[in-house]
Amino acid sequence: MRVIAGAWRGKRLAAPPGTATRPTADRARQTVFDVLWHARWAGRGVIEAARVLDAFAGSGAMGIEALSRGAAEATFLETDPAALAAIRANLRACRAEARGRVVGADATAPPPAPAPCGLVFLDPPYGKGLVTAALAALDKAGWIDREVVVVAELGADETLACPAGFTVEDERVIGAARVAMLRRGRSMER
């Protein structure tokens, strides 16, 4: 697993050992960032200088990819100790410790946010209906900005009940994953 583009392009990322986490494949990350970068409803401004939340972070690959592409800072929420260690190692390898905050917390019962995030990645275990629950909990705790883009990864056969106030802007199946990109707030055109 490697960083796809940006300042750390090609940098190898560590994945936590075992089967407790399922890192997002390079191909899926490439697709997500290509869509975000070029979409009329998102664009470069959604990534560049953004405050990012990578919830159910696993290896931290999504948040690190955003940092590599110009995000200002990223917070990584994760409960698995091996995944937390992998995120910290990946931030060290990219020399990004100052821009990355690692928090050992459950995204469905998060601590209060220091500030809202404009770009949110949610990659919970498949088949447990956690995207909607996590989004509600994160919003209540102040992690979700009024104008936000959320990238949610689910199992390919799962459906997503779009939370009130959000619009599904893009949805696609990539291998075993269904990636839904949601937006809340006014248009974020380039």
How do residues 9-44 score in pLDDT, each as one tens digit? 989 999 887 655 666 677 888 889 999 999 988 888
- The CA angle 90-94-99, to the nearest 5 degrees, is 90
Note the pTM of the prediction, 2 decimals: 0.92
Alpha carbon 71 to its chain's center: 12
| Residue ranges of E strands in the chain | 51-55, 73-78, 100-104, 117-122, 144-155, 167-174, 177-184
Instruction: Provide the pLDDT for residue 23.
Output: 65
Mean pLDDT, residues 60-86 taken together: 96
Return contacts of 6-11, CB within 8 angstroms, 24+ apart. Answer: 6/65, 6/67, 6/68, 6/69, 6/70, 7/68, 7/69, 7/70, 8/64, 8/67, 8/68, 8/94, 8/96, 9/68, 11/68, 11/93, 11/94
Spell out the domains of the chain, with CATH numbers in brackets: 29-156+163-184 (3.40.50.150)
